[in-house]
Amino acid sequence: MKIRSHKSKSQVIVYDADRVQEPGPTLFEPGYWERQGRVSGHATGRGRVLLLDTDFGPAVLRQYLRGGWPARLSREHYLFTGFIRSRPMAEFRMLAALTGAGLPVPEPLAALCDRRGMFYRGWLLTRRIMHVVPLADRLADCLSDPALWRRIGRVIRRFHDAGVVHADLNARNILLGPDDAIHLVDFDRARKSPENARAFAGNLMRLRRSLQKLWPAAERDRLDACWRDLLSGYGTAAELA
């Protein structure tokens, strides 16, 4: 990965020059891709998400949008405190570091921070991971697959061993792919905090709450067994079970 940046007075684009040959603000405009017939679908996730077919391969474009009460003021504007501290720049750097460490995440392609006075808007372009399904959409098929739950636990442990604290580890941010592949996505506001056992336990409990919310009602009795298998793969202390 060859990381480069393109700066103007009000915008900064950071990108992987090995893949993106002509960086520019049009890369982050949904209308640009729609006019070319390059939008292949939409995806759920934080913000506005488009699935793209680009000259540099399948990609995902996400605009950062606010939720909750801040969205009443503005869905797309964030307080500007510097380009380097903006959410798209931070997530690009995190994904670049995790990709370099060999962790299963989307490869970052480009990010844009567009300043508008005291505020900014942001976009992130990543390489699309093909043929994957969120764990949330496969729960009914995973109830009797202890090996899968152990693999999920091992993957989460790899991130924690690398000191990575995911900001929203839930069943939609764990992707299941062919050949037993498991990826984590959505590293907005993720941070490095090595050996932070409390934060890592918080990640696991956030995932547990997500599973409880989505678990098929008719199979509620299987949740504890699957969770024990996940913790077995993770290798965590028994008291977190």
Q: Does residue 41 sit in helix, strand or coil?
A: strand
Contacts (Cβ under 8 Å, ≥6 apart) of 39: 30, 33, 50, 51, 52
> What's the CA gap between 63 and 212, in Å, rounded?
29
Residues annotated as catalytic are 168
φ/ψ of 216, rounded to 5, equals -55, 125
Identify the residue whose tokens are 């670049």. 96
> What's the CA gap between 216 and 142, in Å, rounded?
11
If one counts every other C-beta atom within 10 angstroms of the C-beta of residue 41, the result is 11
> What's the CA gap between 157 and 200, in Å, rounded?
9
CA angle 188–84–49, rounded 5-degree value = 35
Strand 191-192 and strand 182-184: the pairing is: unpaired
φ/ψ of 177, rounded to 5, equals -125, -175
